[in-house]
Structure 1
Amino acid sequence: MASSASPTTEPPVFELGTTLEIPPAALEQNQELPFSIANFKKAVTDRLQALDGGDDTQLWIVFSDFDYSKLKYIDRLRYPIRLQLDGSKLIVKMVGPVHELMHISLIQLIQRDMGRMGLEPIRDYVGLGSTRHQHRSNNSFKEADSALAPITSPEWPSLVIEAGWAETLARLHIDAQWWLSAQVPPNSTTALVVLVSFTKSQRTFRLERYELVTVGRSVVTRSAPLGVRNLATCTAVTTIDIRSTPPIITGAPFVLPFAGIMRRPPIAPERNVSMSAVELEAWATTIARIRNL
């Protein structure tokens, strides 16, 4: 059952500056732990065990005073985590089965629609997975959940997907801000960020599309000499409520602009990527069935 009703929760709009500030609320007010290898291994192991036991209320761990020389050692541990570094602060995101299934199956849906218009992986675009990317400020890096880029400029993702639980949406919104502010022209930039989350209590999936929107400003500043500012703005929201049969879907189809993904205008039969209510229903109900949501 599809509906065009607008969502009741309005996603925030972020103004992008030259520095990236992460409000404490976006990290669920997690207490920062002083970094050491022993603290890292214990905290991550405990949190992963809690996640396996069904406790997914806290998906991030924050370490202060991170020793960058230990990064290679952490990588060799091969924990199911994503890493983000901001200055001396290391942010660790836990990765669980539902989380992985949400973003992997979603990017497969996107690639399937790209295939319908004649685009092929390797020939036209590449999947970048969770490759680590450096922010233009040079004191921050981040790993996406899923990402892809056109083969003409594969060094930086054009489309990024970040997944999590709806209880952590504040943190996911900051993820969108990070990607959309990470590079500036003439470097390749991220044009589209898709946030995908699930609310257990309401058994509802939520997709948000974030893009940079340029708006004029009345006061010219040093940081915006042309009198404009860029806002990381949510430009589309789709929800799939699986409590009923069939599910109640709002905001379908979920559309991704072609130019944002491929960094060029479409040439017929190319068009925007579109996921219909039928496709989104199958996506959501399959995840729910496989992971017993």
Structure 2
Amino acid sequence: MLHCILYELFRDQVPTRISTWCTKAATTFRASQDRGEGDSTGGPIPERRGHDKWPTLVIEAGVSESLAQLHLDMQWWFAASNHDVKIVLLAKLDSSQRMITLDKWVEEPLSVGPGAAITATGQSAALRPILQQTITIHRNEETSPISYDVTRGALVLEFGLLFLRSPGSGEGDIIISVSDLQWYAECVWG
């Protein structure tokens, strides 16, 4: 539930006229001798990128898995995919604190100033993961009915990173609202 509902909230907001999104679910991806399997993944349809291309969105969820292990998973996705993965969402459930933490990671050039190394494709030669957004959802059991307090607003997933193109008319970033995140938490705690 920790990753499925979050992915469904995203997928439900992809306009139906955009037929270029492919859900890859928990497909195993390989890099040399290493392999990884995201809990929920997806990206532009394979015909646009090649049959076995990496997803652009990966969601990793952890209940018993530590946040440190989730961070290692996030780093693996960016490095193993040769930076084809563009957004990694980490969803961590801490039952003792009655809290879900959502971390959105993207990559940025290591050096953005004058003289930064640029590859033939126009990208910086060195990228590093950055934590772009952290959202916490607290389960408030002192209210009746139980409520869910969301800090730091809506989750924003950039269209260009997801679809590898600029948005067209009527297209834009995917925004998972505070009320959607409250519903998500309610589903997770069931």
Q: CA deviation at 1:157?
A: 0.5
Which residue in 2 is equivalent to 1:57? Answer: none
Partner of 1:279: 180
- The question of 1:145 aligning with 2:39 is answered yes
Structure-2-length-normalised TM-score: 0.84
Superposed, 1:187-266 pairs within 5 Å as 189-216=84-111, 229-244=126-141, 245=143, 246-266=147-167
Mark the CA change 1:228 to 1:166 in structure 2 (over 3 Å): closer, same or farther. Answer: farther
Q: 1:169 offset after TM fit, Å?
A: 0.5
Alignment of 1:178-189 (within 5 A): 178-184=76-82, 189=84
Q: Distance in 2 between matches of 1:166 and 1:180?
A: 23
1:170 has 2:46 as partner: no
Partner of 1:40: none
CA distance in 2, matches of 1:268, 1:215: 33
Classify the secondary structure of the residue corresponding to 1:252. coil
Task: Name the CA distance, whole Å, in 2 between partners of 1:217 and 1:109.
Answer: 33
SS at match of 1:129: coil
Q: Deviations over 1:18-64 (max 9, x none)?
A: xxxxxxxxxxxxxxxxxxxxxxxxxxxxxxxxxxxxxxxxxxxxxxx
Query: 1:113 — aligned with what?
Result: 13
Cα pair 1:216 1:228 within 8 Å, conserved: no
How big is the shift at 1:166? 7.4
SS at the partner of 1:177?
helix
Structure 1 pair 166/248, CA: closer, same or farther in 2 (3 Å)? Answer: farther
For normalisation by structure 1, the TM-score amounts to 0.56
- One-letter amino acid of the structure 1 residue matched with residue 23 of structure 2: G
AA partner of residue 229 (structure 1): A
Does 1:159 pair with 2:57? yes
Q: How many residues align?
A: 176
Residue matched to 2:121 = none
Please give the secondary structure, in 1, of the residue aligned with 2:2: helix
Once residues 184 and 125 of structure 1 are traced to their aligned partners in structure 2, the CA distance between those partners, rounded to angstroms, is 20
User: Structure 1: where are the runs of 5+ without partners?
Assistant: 1-100
Q: Is the 8 A contact 1:215 1:229 kept in 2?
A: yes
Task: Output the CA distance in 1 between the equivalents of 2:70 and 2:117.
Answer: 30
Shift of 1:216: 1.3
Mapped to 1, the partners of 2:185 and 2:164 lie a distance apart of 29
1:217 deviation in Å? 8.0
Query: What is the Cα-based RMSD across aligned positions, in Å?
Result: 2.3
CA distance in 2, matches of 1:144, 1:258: 20
Note if 1:129 corresponds to 2:25.
yes
Indicate the percent of aligned positions where both proteins have the same amino acid. 27
1:168 Cα deviation from its structure 2 partner:
0.6
> What is the CA-CA distance between 1:184 and the residue it aligns to?
3.0
Q: C-alpha displacement at 1:228, in angstroms?
A: 5.6
Q: Deviations 1:63-99 (Å, cap 9, x if unpaired)? A: xxxxxxxxxxxxxxxxxxxxxxxxxxxxxxxxxxxxx
Equivalent residues of 1:102, 1:287 under 8 A apart:
yes
Q: CA separation of 1:262/1:225 partners in 2, compared to 1, >3 Å: closer, same or farther?
A: closer
1:53 maps to what in 2?
none
Higher Cα radius of gyration = 1
